[in-house]
Structure 1
Amino acid sequence: MDSASHLPGLRHSYEGEPLLESGMAADPVTQFALWFADAVGAGLPEPNAMVVATSSAGGRPSARTVLLKGFDERGFVFFTNYESRKGRDLGENPRACLLFPWHPIRRQVRVEGSVVRLPREDSSAYFHSRPYGSRIGAWASRQSAVVESREQLDVRFRELAERWPQDPPLPDFWGGFRVVPAEVEFWQGQTDRMHDRLRYRRTGGTWTLERLAP
């Protein structure tokens, strides 16, 4: 390896109680709720920020940060423009991986699973709960499309605000996705790079918990 590629000084030491199978919940959603509450309680900025990784039908990967907007036993929900790159990817290849990078508390969660669109009524309910400006922005931005300038976006925003001064409707091209988990891994940093990795894997209608080598 070329010495110029080294990053001297960027070493991290993890210390704390081990993550043991005996202390884990029976299912990953319950365990995620516990860890999410810990992330919120620790004061992490935007603990619901997650990296969403997708792939096109041809196998071209892509990743971006999106905000988690809800979760339950059915899966993990986020909203986006269906015509964006991630929307197109999920239309071609409805699988995704989510990553919650909670570095300050030496934890991360990774979720893999299939992806389904939310019913339109669910997307509408969430859309109309958003601030007015965010709703106009959803119309104004053809997400991932090339635009000539910032001014072009601002002009489009003003035009739509004039068109709908109070209550813009839900766009046909915007809505929610749910990631239905097949695997959920909980990672916790430990000393000497002997990190704890516990993975829930769906087997039929039940969850199997197994430890992975760090």
Structure 2
Amino acid sequence: MDKKLADLRKSYERAELDEHAADPNPRVQFERWLSEAIRAQIPEPNAMTVATVGPDLRPSTRVVLIKGCDDRGIVWYTNYESRKGRELAHNPYAALQFHWVELERVVRIEGKVEKTSDAESDEYFHSRPLDSRIGAWASPQSRPIASRAVLVANAARYAAQFGLNPPRPPHWGGFRLTPDRWEFWQGRKSRLHDRLCYRLVDGHWVRERLAP
């Protein structure tokens, strides 16, 4: 197995990332790439990895779905009592990563995280399918449970309790990461990849090329 893994390799030759073609605003560049990923119909182009750090200084990652992006930052929704929620309450800094394999592209984003407003969380929660709204009540996310039957029983109980109009749970809502660093990676031939980094310095974005 080790030898087979060591032999796995791919030559990246689809595209390039040039400083003169990249937008000076990293959010605009990100939205350009995200739009291209959506148009390419790759699987779940909105999926991103969220990395947090716990009180024990151990990092952890998980995949969530981006639900908003504007000048204020990048938004996703979750259970605030989950592992990521508890870790962000302790250390409000996180890193995000998008990996669009078919386009040979990666975007990395770092910054400070805060909860979205109750109004934003309410608006998104009530736009979700009914089963997902019930699921937010039914799942004690990241906590040990005896079996899947616990989830099924919880879902049935809350469905009976709330009917067609479950309210947003107080432990469920949005997080917004406000970026202070972006990196755009485009795979290139011979592992001489293109990497453009944007750093926020005194309120302005400084763009620089990084060695691969």
Same fold (TM over 0.5): yes
Pairing partner for 1:45 from 18, 22, 43: 43
Please state if 1:198 is matched with 2:191. no
Pairing partner for 2:11 from 10, 13, 20: 13
Structure 1's consecutive aligned runs of 4 or more residues displaced over 3 angstroms after TM superposition are 3-6
Whole-angstrom distance in 2 between the partners of 1:115 and 1:190: 32
Identity among equivalent positions (%) equals: 50
CA contact (8 A) 2:15 2:186 kept: no
Report deviation, 1:8: 4.2
Whole-angstrom distance in 1 between the partners of 2:6 and 2:203: 47
Q: Corresponding residue for 1:137?
A: 135
Q: Corresponding residue for 1:68?
A: 66
Report deviation, 1:146: 0.4
Q: Corresponding residue for 1:187?
A: 185
Q: Corresponding residue for 1:26?
A: 24
Whole-angstrom distance in 2 between the partners of 1:85 and 1:112: 19
User: What is the CA deviation profile of residues 165-188 of structure 1, one whole-angstrom value per residue up to 9, with x for unaligned ones?
Assistant: 110001110000001001000000
With the length of structure 1 as denominator, give the TM-score of the two structures: 0.96
Superposition CA RMSD, Å: 1.2
Tell me the SS of whatever aligns to 1:157: helix
Q: Which amino acid aligns with 1:54?
A: T
Whole-angstrom distance in 2 between the partners of 1:141 and 1:212: 42
Report deviation, 1:5: 6.0
Whole-angstrom distance in 2 between the partners of 1:28 and 1:114: 16
Whole-angstrom distance in 1 between the partners of 2:2 and 2:12: 26
Q: Which amino acid aligns with 2:192?
A: M
With the length of structure 2 as denominator, give the TM-score of the two structures: 0.97
Whole-angstrom distance in 2 between the partners of 1:16 and 1:170: 44
Which stretches in structure 2 are left out of the alignment for 5+ residues? none
Q: Corresponding residue for 1:54?
A: 52
CA contact (8 A) 2:14 2:103 kept: no
Whole-angstrom distance in 2 between the partners of 1:107 and 1:172: 37
Q: Corresponding residue for 1:147?
A: 145
Q: Which amino acid aligns with 2:72?
A: R
